Amino acid sequence: MPSSRVRESNPLYTRSALEAGAVCAGGHPLEAQAGAAMMAAGGNAIDALVAAAFVGFVVEPASCGLGGYGHTTIWLARERRFVSFDHYCRAPGAAHPTLFQVDDDAAFHYYGHPATKGRKAEVGFMAVAVPGAVKGFCDAHDLFGRLRFARVLEPAIAAAEAGVDFTWEHALTIADREDEIRAFPDTAAVLLPGGRVPRTPRWMPTGDRLDTSALARTLKAIAAKGAAGFHGGAVAAAIAWYVQGHGGILSAEDIAGYRTRVLVEQPTRYRDHDLVACYDQVAYQALQMLDGFDLARHGPDSFAYRHLTAEALALTFTDSIVHYGDPDVERAPVDGLASRAFADVRRRLIRLGKAVPRPVAPGDPWPFDAKGPKPRALETRRTLGKRSGTSQMVAADTEGNAAATCVSISSGFGSLVYVPEVGVFLNNAMQNFDPRPDHPNCLRPGKMPIFAAPALVSARRDRGMFASSGSGGYRIETGVLHTFMNVVDHGMDVQAALDHPRVHSQGEETYVDARIPAVVRDRMARAGHTVVVVHEGPGSNNFGRIVALRRTRRGWEAGGYPAWGTGTAGL
């Protein structure tokens, strides 16, 4: 056996993969069931994905919601093409580069930039960016869905009318942010019943419940009017009145003016797969770098696989954090970051026996910007394109369509702003901008901030083959890319690919799953990695919560990781 290979000690696989003719997976079993029900009713994968997402907006209030945003990728089997719906948050019209002051005494933000004084970009009314979740899914369904939109929203409305049991996951998030929650009376009224962290079903059949009756009314407005049911009229006015009445800057005009970025991207090539990840330059650069190494030869449990993946992630995250800016607003080398020529240059820094010095120095993508794959805005029946906490769902149908989405409100329960009249928690995505006015990711009106949260879909020989997305901040990238490579390079079934231990690096420390053998971890340390060993378990999210599906000879196979935080369904 080559010295670079190490035999793994039976990795823990959490469940069997679900195989069926059509499948749906999500962050909650009710999401997957809603998606499968749409396909059973004659809908396609797009109907399934939209239904699953809206159910998620009800049953996963800490992770996603109408007040959040999304990234969605679709493979259209009949047309043999990908379409991306980038419905990420946008900065309000009153935003400007010096809106927030940099807190020089605080640690850098998880996303690679400074924190703001008073945490104003992280918590509260100034932290709210323009939500795009509803508009993006309405646009996707309007273009490619098959069932009536009102039919697709029926499972979400039913879930909201029933109310939501607080789970241990909700309780953990609430307990973690309890002191902050108490500063917002309307939020505390719904998240701290009786003035305490909610009771969850343990020894008793039921615990406390979240009242979602106002959310049900809002969902009915969306079912009747489409995007206008949220982005206009009474709902948008109520949200703006509430936010501005407490010192925020989000306006009804911001909500009404939101536009999805709908793109036909030039697919990235990895092995014999074409793939799109909803305009995620980190996914494109990392996979193109790793495409130059024979990962299959080294094996999934080898030092080489762990080391090479960590190196590619470290280089790629560094490059995007330094250079990325919304190309609709800033002059930034976004196409260069995604170009194969730039990936080839950065790959030359990687050595099998020695890690790139930390912290990783950024590369220069500008010379390659003209060579990068340039997406085009999709021409549609409507004006969709404008140069202007997290969950996940995937779906695939019997016709071969496949879709993936990543939906979020940023932190757990977002900004902690809850609008009682409409039953919606609002995002805190203003933290995703860089508060330094000279950075490409600075604040400007209508701008989208940096992200690295792939909704990845692949095709091979004009057939949809794989779809995946996740939650967990930048660890989504790690989870989705590892799962994809485990399937493509190492021939794993989808559940084994999801469960297999992973590594993560953003340019400094290398986080390593404790299930990876000590001999591999030690060799990584000797190679120059600052190894941080982490354990996965309920309440942690060190390597992302991921769902995925892949094509099999008999249909599709779906799975989720971890077992306690995902659900699958099929027919």
Tokens 């009474």 appear where?
234
Enter the tokens of residue 364: 């220069």
pLDDT for the residue numbered 537: 73
Report which of 480, 563, 456, 405 is spatially closest to residue 24, judged by C-alpha positions: 405
Contact 131, 67 (CB under 8 A): yes
Examine the domain organization and report whether 255 and 288 are in the same domain: no
Residue type at 451 in one-letter notation: F
Residue ranges of the chain with pLDDT lower than 50? 1-11, 379-388
Query: Within 10 A of 12 (CB to CB), how many other CB atoms are there?
Result: 12
| Residue 359 maps to a domain | yes
Report which of 39, 34, 54, 42 is spatially closest to residue 405, judged by C-alpha positions: 54
Query: Which domain range does residue 150 map to?
Result: 23-62+87-262+402-432
- pLDDT tens per residue, range 246-291: 999 999 999 999 999 999 999 999 999 999 999 999 999 999 999 9
Examine the domain organization and report whether 349 and 496 are in the same domain: yes
pLDDT for the residue numbered 371: 77
pLDDT for the residue numbered 203: 54
Strands in 221-305 per DSSP E: 261-264, 268-270, 273-276
Contact 507, 355 (CB under 8 A): no
pLDDT for the residue numbered 209: 94
Report which of 175, 146, 168, 3 is spatially closest to residue 78, judged by C-alpha positions: 146
| Residue 6 maps to a domain | no
Tokens 């050595």 appear where?
351
What's the CA dihedral at 276, 281, 283, 287 to 10 degrees? 90
Examine the domain organization and report whether 510 and 372 are in the same domain: yes
Examine the domain organization and report whether 223 and 326 are in the same domain: no
Examine the domain organization and report whether 170 and 34 are in the same domain: yes
pLDDT for the residue numbered 421: 98
| Residue 388 maps to a domain | no
Domain count, the chain: 2
Cis, bond preceding 359 (omega within 30 deg of 0): yes
Percentage of the chain with pLDDT > 70?
95
Give ∠ CA 443-447-451 in degrees, rounded to 5. 90
| Residue 361 maps to a domain | yes
- pLDDT tens per residue, range 338-361: 999 999 999 999 999 999 999 999
pLDDT for the residue numbered 13: 53
Contact 263, 375 (CB under 8 A): yes
| Residue 383 maps to a domain | no
pLDDT for the residue numbered 479: 96
Examine the domain organization and report whether 240 and 180 are in the same domain: yes
Examine the domain organization and report whether 460 and 477 are in the same domain: yes
Q: Please, what sign has the CA dihedral across residues 172, 177, 178, 182?
A: negative
At 41, is the secondary structure helix, strand, or coil? Answer: coil
Contact 61, 167 (CB under 8 A): no
| Residue 391 maps to a domain | no
Examine the domain organization and report whether 426 and 505 are in the same domain: no
Examine the domain organization and report whether 169 and 100 are in the same domain: yes
Cis, bond preceding 562 (omega within 30 deg of 0): yes
Q: Please, what sign has the CA dihedral across residues 42, 45, 47, 53?
A: positive
Examine the domain organization and report whether 95 and 209 are in the same domain: yes
Examine the domain organization and report whether 229 and 278 are in the same domain: no
Examine the domain organization and report whether 238 and 362 are in the same domain: no
Q: Following DSSP, what letter does each residue of 218-232 receive, concatenated?
A: HHHHHHHHTTHHHHS
| Residue 544 maps to a domain | yes
| Residue 443 maps to a domain | no
pLDDT for the residue numbered 388: 27
Task: Output the domain CATH number for residue 521.
Answer: 1.10.246.130
Report which of 451, 446, 417, 406 is spatially closest to residue 432, judged by C-alpha positions: 451
